[in-house]
Structure 1
């Protein structure tokens, strides 16, 4: 069941498909029912072919195709940005700092953006990279192979933060500080972050633990746990990377919506 408050934000962003006058074929399933089916798969992790049609979702292939088409049309990025704007207008975004981290998941069927994990006996896997604000609200997410270093996504994630309006002044897209663990310790990237007007606070390798950043960094670990609460994201079952990225972006938007309504 898709809540009215969530559907009201997503429906205007869906591409309109006009029905053909000649040979129209079967009537197109309503977008809200299809979205219910997509969310059912995201929440439960069920295979597409086992999606229960008696619940009114339509076939699993219908939902899969619509998820693919909507992702290609950039549908999921737009509700995420809209929700960030609403959170910013409500004063629920903490721009004083941003926190970044990555998490490994198995990719049992392989595919693009997967690779042997150096921390899991070279099993094929992927990584979810997440950038959050100081409260743990996801600002940007990305998917890479399991053999990619976390620091490789530092600048792409900062660049992926959309311009967030909602208050007087210019749209906001840069935090004041960036917090990261030792996996991001590299002077080259410190300089790149400084060049964006952001102060990097990154723990250094070879120093004793107890930098004090963990007091603030836990929010990104909590957000990653919330993302993996969606069972479809705990293990990557999709060979196509764009389908898994669609699930990842949709889950980030849902987390933002929950923070807004609660």
Structure 2
């Protein structure tokens, strides 16, 4: 029997990327045979690369309903998150992860399609557990992507919040999402060697949290914090340590954001639920890792 030959169209996975991702995608179970896995995953990739609606997927990916249903199931089951962790574990086993971790956030405008979350009264300035990571900021209806990446600009963890949420509040839960499984026995690696962040993360509480976990950090001190410390005299304590040479590497996380926003379905949020949008960001992160291996 002659194997099916795939014609790779624009915005689809290469053969190398598929060979890497195929073992990480759940196999078909019993019942009706499902559409070929690579074609369906390519439909998802095409969707987040171009930002088209699900109904406008090209016919070569089969029924758009089948692609969407599979994507939604994978999003709810955390398939892409587990696949990302497995790729990270494989790379970490070779010592190729740079644990000089950078954290930052970016604002993403939400399309009007994403606003129809089904909550009575629509989106307001208040937030709760059903806000779907949508909120009001200066840019209007937005979502904020909090990102931790390694020293080579590859995503380690992602956290979504409404656009008005302050970065400093999300720093700790973001770092606690880093879980890189070990190749053999042992607990997943959760602790970076060093953390680089901008002034938005300069708080005594976050610095104390990093010291408690034994994580070195390079975070510039805010001018009002410096002034307050000097005004307290001896009681103000010593100035925080700051290495300008290490801080120059903070642009790595900015470059990672640029790569993620190269996907139009990430640069603008079209997904209604936070679960689906986070799955889209995770799938894009998977492709970034696949390129680097």
- TM-score range normalised by the length of the shorter chain: 0.7 to 0.9
Aligned-CA RMSD value? 2.3
Hey, what's the Cα distance between the residues in 1 that align with 2:180 and 2:52?
35
Assess, with a 3 A threshold, how the Cα gap between structure 1 residues 170 and 147 changes in structure 2: closer, same or farther: closer
Q: Structure 1, residues 51-95: CA drift from partner, whole Å, max 9, x if none? A: 110xx2012222111111012222101221122122223332112
Secondary structure at the aligned position of 1:253 is classed as helix
Unaligned runs of 5+ in 2: 1-11, 118-131, 227-241
SS in 2 for 1:135: coil
Q: Residues 135 and 163 of structure 2 are in contact (CA less than 8 Å); yes or no, is this contact kept in structure 1?
A: yes
Alpha-carbon distance in 1 for matches of 2:274, 2:290: 24
TM-score by length of 2: 0.78
Is 1:224 aligned to 2:227, yes or no? Answer: no
CA contact (8 A) 1:38 1:67 kept: yes
The answer on whether the counterparts of 1:115 and 1:125 sit within 8 Å (CA) in structure 2 is: yes
Aligned mates of 2:268, 2:76 — CA distance in 1? 22
* Residue of structure 2 aligned with 1:194, choices 211, 216, 228: 211
Deviates more, 1:216-225 or 1:167-176: 167-176
Determine if contact 2:17/2:291 at 8 Å carries over to the other structure: no
- Report how far residue 148 of structure 1 moved: 0.7
If the length of structure 1 is used for normalisation, what is the TM-score? 0.86
Alignment counterpart, residue 12 of structure 1, candidates 18, 23, 26: 23
Is residue 201 of structure 2 the alignment partner of residue 184 of structure 1?
yes
Aligned residues: 248
Q: Answer yes or no: is 1:69 the counterpart of 2:73.
A: yes
Whole-angstrom distance in 2 between the partners of 1:230 and 1:133:
20
**C-alpha offsets along residues 107-158 of structure 1, whole Å, 9 cap, x if unaligned?**
12334111011x43xx010011110112212111121110111122211121
Counterpart position of 1:204 = 221
Paired position in structure 2 for 1:104:
107
What's the CA shift for 1:235?
Answer: 0.7
Which deviates more, 149-158 or 169-178?
A: 169-178
Query: Alignment partner of 2:34: what SS?
Result: coil
Q: Which runs of 4+ in 1 moved over 4 A?
A: 166-171
| Alignment-derived partner of residue 114 in structure 1 | 134
The worse-fitting range, judged by mean Cα deviation, of 235-244 and 3-12 is 3-12
**Deviations 1:179-213 (Å, cap 9, x if unpaired)?**
110111111111112222212221111179x9735
Spell out the pairing of 1:12-161 with structure 2 (5 A cutoff). 12-20=23-31, 24=32, 27-53=33-59, 56-95=60-99, 97-109=100-112, 110=115, 111=117, 112-117=132-137, 119-120=138-139, 123-161=140-178
How far does residue 171 in structure 1 lie from its aligned partner after superposition?
5.2
Find the structure with the greater CA-based Rg.
2
